[in-house]
Chains A and B, each alone.
Chain A
Amino acid sequence: MTILLGQSLVNAILLSGMLALVALGFSIVWGVLKIINLAHGAFIMLGAYVTFTLFNLYHVDPFLTIPISMLALFLLGYLIQAYVINWVIRAPLLVTFLLTFGLDIILINLALFVWKGDVRAVGPAYAGTGLTLFRDPLTSQGIQVPYVRLAAFVISLVLAGLLYLFMSYTKLGRAIQATGQDKDAAQLTGVRVAPTYALTFAIGAALAGAAGSLISVMQPFDPNMGGGYRLRAFIIVVLGGLGSIPGVILGSVLFALVDVLVGISPLAPLKDGVAFAMLVLVLIVRPTGIAGKAFY
């Protein structure tokens, strides 16, 4: 029993790091551009395929591909925002909704065309190996900490920390924050809104790319993988409160804990349902999210 709970706790902590990375990009795009980017899942999927391609063709270590997939997604995100979404950025929410939904379909089908519908996995030699923290002398079972997940967790935290520093202490980051708070006021103080939006969207896409690269090492995936992550990102952002980096992390920890604990309980088949119930509950009790404040 202790092993079961201990293992679940470890699972939850490691999972929360990865989920935070999944949700971060979604959160800043929503917070600053005020658009719900339905193509976020497709960006994650593209990140996974960048890693898959580099690993398979050139045997690049999956963790070393993270900067590459981030850069690729950064460029793609910048172009998509500057040349597609920017046209409708001031239109009602439904228009950007439709547009990003369309982008999602296009990207998924492009991926189906390029990589086919096969289920892929990235399996470096060290996949599946890990530390055993505590070994029960009777059953010789222990708490496993898989190296891959541990590394993914650390990388997620580092990226979240870098984003936090960037947003709080650099001129560009503060311009992004200002634009998110009030784009007209930001414009009056000399912030160029259009490039700031494009930059924000690009950062969001780059984070999605990093998340995709990490996920590719942990789970089998296909071009349709993104939808589930988009949903998780949405729940986490609402849980934690829109537009705050610590909020996203808090939301991820909560989501991961519920996900893992429900997973070992008899409620396991209702995992997704419980996550949504949690979402509804938070919206009723505290519509700004748990750590949210009227910031953006």
Chain B
Amino acid sequence: MKIHLLVLLSLWVVASLIAGCATPPAAAPAAQPTAAPAKPCTITFGAAVSLTGATAKEGEYVKNGYNMFIEDINKEGGFKVGSQKCTLVLKIYDDESNADTSAKLIEKLVTEDKVNLLLGPYGTGPVFSASAIAEKYDVPMVEPGGAGMKIFTRGFKNVWGTLPAAPNYLNSAVDMIMAKDPSAKNVALFIENDSFSQEVADGITAYLKQKGLNLVYSEQYPKGTKDVSSLATAAKAKNPDIVLGASHLADAELVVKQAKDIGLNAKAWAFSVGPSTAEFGTALGKDATYILGVTPWTPAMKFQGQDIYGTPQKFADAFKAKYGYVPSYHSASAVATMIAFQKAIEAAGSIEPKAVREQLNKLDVPTFYGQLKFSPEGIIVKPMGVVQWFDDGNMYTIWPKEVAEKDFIYPAPAWDKR
């Protein structure tokens, strides 16, 4: 019996090894992803999104955005390409939150599935590697989930991103705090050791200096860390007015939880990624109150767009009706990538990569997501909004002032005074 099992096990190992090798990178770039649209015209989009693994949640938000837009636009006949309407098809795989898998799947989408155009994965890491494959095969990719500048500084012609650049993530939060209290000078910064968070940290460090604030404490913690209480202890000794985090969701929650344990207090708390998702409030409950998050988009923002949704509120309502929850910026950003393609394809009258590329570079249209316009590197030009968690367990948009739902509550009381 034992030998039997061993044989089976080794067969399985061999089989999976063979399966793993079955999709080798094609030897030469096959420049044929743009088969001329056949009679019942369809445009096939390909995407690899994290449906499992560390960023499974964000991946799901992105996937839901893609699917909803495709369904809604197909109801209207699809994209207008020249004189005809083309319906959209999406081929989507799970990249397991893994950058290497993402690249492999993009290769498969281009060479085997022969998709016409590419949508991006979630996360700077996967986008970084996936976009290299898009560049190799010369297929345009507009991505909703990678904000790291390193994606855009390689001189690629085929990648555009709809999230604002990582180095600017925390700027608007700092602007807002300074506008409220010019005497808040001392800042503590917690930095996740991750390529995106590093860029956020470098960006905000330079910005703080430029604005004349003092960075009294700045320290990195390893990605996926389980304990930051020693960092919180060291930061507490510096008595910061403002605590900033260059983080993702899980570590932002960890910093807040352990800051409370240790009694690290500050008048304002802001994190790059984390507080702007609903889960942050669910997980932390009352402790989320007063915390600031930055986000490129909320349903409360007032944009007037020339797209099928028109305004953030209308998009949010449609999304909620379909999926049962209020969309986060991840889903909005995903839809924005497809609107970027729509506008570019309609302007080009073709889905030829060269023509689409030209139009994407020229793009400048108002949408429910805000103005869609890319910098020469390919990253969206867009300021961040700021949200704050309130006592009632909800987060509200509080910045920019023109679209604020509520006033910024400041200062946050000490943990033991709440």
Q: From the candidates A119, A127, A225, A261, name the one contacting B253 in the complex (CB within 8 A).
A: A119
Query: How many Å from the CB of B191 to the closest CB on chain A?
Result: 8
Given A98-B13, A271-B222, A271-B225, A264 and B56 contact (CB-CB distance below 8 Å): no
Report yes or no: A128 in contact with B260, Cβ–Cβ below 8 A: yes
Report yes or no: B219 in contact with A269, Cβ–Cβ below 8 A: yes
Known: A1-B237, A88-B5. 9 other contacts (CB 8 A): A15-B229, A117-B57, A123-B287, A130-B261, A144-B263, A218-B257, A219-B226, A229-B226, A259-B227
Q: From the candidates B5, B220, B227, B263, name the one contacting A141 in the complex (CB within 8 A).
A: B263
The yes or no answer to A281 lying at the interface (CB within 8 A) is no
Report yes or no: A112 in contact with B236, Cβ–Cβ below 8 A: no
A60 CB contacts on chain B under 8 angstroms: none
The yes or no answer to A181 lying at the interface (CB within 8 A) is no
Interface centre among B224, B250, B253 (most CB of A within 10 A): B250
Interface residues on A, range: 35 or more
A232 CB contacts on chain B under 8 angstroms: 226
Within 8 A of A (CB), among B226-242: 226-231, 233-234, 236-237, 239
A148 CB contacts on chain B under 8 angstroms: 261
The yes or no answer to B42 lying at the interface (CB within 8 A) is no
Report yes or no: A88 in contact with B193, Cβ–Cβ below 8 A: no
Report yes or no: A128 in contact with B283, Cβ–Cβ below 8 A: no
The yes or no answer to A114 lying at the interface (CB within 8 A) is no
The yes or no answer to B415 lying at the interface (CB within 8 A) is yes
The yes or no answer to A53 lying at the interface (CB within 8 A) is no
Q: From the candidates B56, B222, B415, name the one contacting A112 in the complex (CB within 8 A).
A: B56
Cα(A44)–Cα(B229), bound, Å: 21
Interface centre among A123, A128, A142, A225 (most CB of B within 10 A): A128
Interface segment, A3-11, A63-71, A182-190, A242-250? A3-11
The yes or no answer to B112 lying at the interface (CB within 8 A) is no
Report yes or no: B261 in contact with A146, Cβ–Cβ below 8 A: yes
Report yes or no: A269 in contact with B220, Cβ–Cβ below 8 A: yes
Cα(A48)–Cα(B56), bound, Å: 19
Q: How many residues of B contact A (CB 8 A)?
A: 47
Report yes or no: B222 in contact with A121, Cβ–Cβ below 8 A: no
A109 CB contacts on chain B under 8 angstroms: 52
Q: From the candidates B228, B230, B283, name the one contacting A119 in the complex (CB within 8 A).
A: B283
Contact bitstring A84-103, B, C-beta under 8 A = 1, else 0: 00011011000100110000
Q: From the candidates A112, A120, A132, A269, name the one contacting B52 in the complex (CB within 8 A).
A: A112
B52 CB contacts on chain A under 8 angstroms: 109, 112, 117
Secondary structure at the A interface, as helix, strand, loop or mixed, is helix
Report yes or no: B225 in contact with A119, Cβ–Cβ below 8 A: no
The yes or no answer to B412 lying at the interface (CB within 8 A) is no
The yes or no answer to A40 lying at the interface (CB within 8 A) is no
Interface centre among A117, A228, A269 (most CB of B within 10 A): A117
Report yes or no: A123 in contact with B224, Cβ–Cβ below 8 A: no
Interface centre among B193, B221, B253, B257 (most CB of A within 10 A): B257
The yes or no answer to B2 lying at the interface (CB within 8 A) is yes
Given A228-B224, A269-B222, A8 and B279 contact (CB-CB distance below 8 Å): no
Pairs across A and B, CB under 8 Å, 14 listed: A7-B262, A11-B262, A15-B227, A87-B2, A88-B6, A88-B9, A91-B6, A117-B57, A119-B249, A121-B253, A259-B230, A263-B221, A268-B220, A268-B230
Within 8 A of B (CB), among A245-286: 259-264, 268-269, 271-272
Query: How many Å from the CB of A140 to the closest CB on chain B?
Result: 10
Q: From the candidates A90, A119, A224, name the one contacting B279 in the complex (CB within 8 A).
A: A119
The yes or no answer to B53 lying at the interface (CB within 8 A) is yes
Nearest neighbor of B231 in chain A, beta-carbon distance: A263
Query: How many Å from the CB of B246 to the closest CB on chain A?
Result: 12
Nearest neighbor of A268 in chain B, beta-carbon distance: B219
Cα(A7)–Cα(B231), bound, Å: 11
A119 CB contacts on chain B under 8 angstroms: 57, 249-250, 253, 279, 283
The yes or no answer to B25 lying at the interface (CB within 8 A) is no
The yes or no answer to B213 lying at the interface (CB within 8 A) is no
The yes or no answer to B285 lying at the interface (CB within 8 A) is yes
Secondary structure at the B interface, as helix, strand, loop or mixed, is helix
Top-8 shortest CB links A-B? A263-B230, A117-B56, A269-B220, A128-B260, A220-B253, A121-B283, A146-B261, A264-B234
The yes or no answer to A104 lying at the interface (CB within 8 A) is no
Cα(A11)–Cα(B239), bound, Å: 19
Query: How many Å from the CB of B277 to the closest CB on chain A?
Result: 9
The yes or no answer to B36 lying at the interface (CB within 8 A) is no
- Residues of B at the A interface (CB closer than 8 Å) are 1-2, 5-6, 9, 13, 52-57, 60, 193, 219-222, 224-231, 233-234, 236-237, 239, 249-250, 253-254, 257, 260-263, 279, 282-285, 287, 415
Nearest neighbor of B262 in chain A, beta-carbon distance: A144
A262 CB contacts on chain B under 8 angstroms: 230
Query: How many Å from the CB of A130 to the closest CB on chain B?
Result: 7
Report yes or no: B226 in contact with A128, Cβ–Cβ below 8 A: no
Contact bitstring A205-231, B, C-beta under 8 A = 1, else 0: 000000000010011111011011100
Report yes or no: A116 in contact with B56, Cβ–Cβ below 8 A: yes
Report yes or no: A220 in contact with B225, Cβ–Cβ below 8 A: no
Report yes or no: A228 in contact with B9, Cβ–Cβ below 8 A: no
Cα(A146)–Cα(B253), bound, Å: 17
Given A98-B9, A269-B219, A128 and B257 contact (CB-CB distance below 8 Å): yes
B285 CB contacts on chain A under 8 angstroms: 123
Q: From the candidates B53, B221, B257, B261, name the one contacting A121 in the complex (CB within 8 A).
A: B257
Query: How many Å from the CB of B250 to the closest CB on chain A?
Result: 5
B228 CB contacts on chain A under 8 angstroms: 263
Query: How many Å from the CB of B106 to the closest CB on chain A?
Result: 22
Cα(A262)–Cα(B249), bound, Å: 24
Cα(A111)–Cα(B9), bound, Å: 24
Cα(A3)–Cα(B103), bound, Å: 49
Cα(A15)–Cα(B57), bound, Å: 29
B5 CB contacts on chain A under 8 angstroms: 87-88
Report yes or no: B279 in contact with A118, Cβ–Cβ below 8 A: yes
Cα(A112)–Cα(B51), bound, Å: 10
The yes or no answer to A139 lying at the interface (CB within 8 A) is yes
Cα(A258)–Cα(B282), bound, Å: 33
Nearest neighbor of A122 in chain B, beta-carbon distance: B283
Report yes or no: A269 in contact with B283, Cβ–Cβ below 8 A: no
